[in-house]
């Protein structure tokens, strides 16, 4: 990434492997040093697809069939007639069925136990550091961050949070500036990463203040 501001939140890259036209990376084992850790994988941002992925207006029957299974009520009479929809409509519906569109993040997987006020304080501290560093980062100031996750790991003694999954983090087109907070409309390249991070911080604060107020 080449951004010293963010390096402390990223797994160290050790090696890149090319195997049969596929590229693989070797990074730090983020669970190393933890004893029976609790883990939460949180997908960040208000969308998880790149604009290029939905720029084609081609109608597809396979996506229509998937939409039928998800929520047939959103289909228009015209779409029912041709039994096809475009990828943008399908991807937007999929996001709307999760908290991505409303909160700017969604929990992909978790295994947690023994969460207490001290651990929540450490989690909040790390999230606030990520937030302030992200806003100052030259890299994230010039990239849209799509499909990236925060990996929260803790055990009885330690807490850490890592930024992972940058396969869909791409440079912004020339002349485009985003704040990572504003709602996405096709063409503005907003990703909602900071919108989601701010909501995540506020929700964890509320949980801490409500559950551990005594």
pLDDT at 2: 63
Q: Is 94 in the same domain as 110?
A: no
Q: Is 113 in the same domain as 94?
A: no
Residue 132 is part of which domain span?
Answer: 7-46+104-211
* Residue of 133, 130, 136 whose CA lies nearest to 149: 130
Per-residue pLDDT reduced to its tens digit, 132-166? 999 999 999 999 999 999 999 999 999 999 999 99
Residues 6+ apart with CB under 8 A from 201: 124, 127, 128, 131
pLDDT at 23: 81
Give the pLDDT band of residue 31 (cuts 50, 70, 90).
very high
Q: Is 56 in the same domain as 130?
A: no
Domain final residue pick, 64, 80, 98: 98
1 pLDDT more than 70: no
User: Are the CB atoms for 117 and 18 separated by under 8 Å?
Assistant: no
């Amino acid at each position: 990434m080449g951004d010293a501001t963010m390096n402390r939140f990223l797994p160290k890259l050790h090696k890149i492997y090319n195997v049969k036209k596929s590229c693989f990376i070797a990074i730090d084992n983020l669970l190393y040093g933890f004893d029976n850790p609790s883990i939460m994988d949180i997908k960040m941002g208000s969308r998880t697809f790149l604009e290029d992925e939905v720029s084609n207006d081609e109608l597809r029957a396979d996506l229509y069939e998937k939409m039928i299974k998800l929520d047939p009520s959103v289909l228009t009479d015209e779409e029912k007639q041709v039994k096809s929809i475009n990828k943008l409509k399908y991807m937007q519906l999929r996001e709307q069925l999760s908290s991505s569109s409303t909160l700017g993040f969604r929990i992909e997987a978790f295994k947690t136990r023994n969460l207490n006020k001290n651990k929540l304080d450490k989690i909040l501290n790390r999230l606030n550091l990520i937030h302030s560093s992200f806003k100052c980062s030259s890299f994230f100031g010039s990239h849209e961050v799509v499909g990236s996750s925060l990996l929260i790991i803790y055990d009885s003694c330690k807490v850490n949070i890592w930024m992972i999954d940058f396969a869909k983090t791409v440079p912004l087109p020339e002349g485009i500036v985003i704040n990572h907070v504003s709602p996405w409309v096709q063409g503005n390249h907003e990703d909602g990463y900071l919108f989601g991070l701010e909501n995540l911080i506020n929700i964890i604060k509320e949980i801490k203040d409500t559950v551990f107020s005594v």
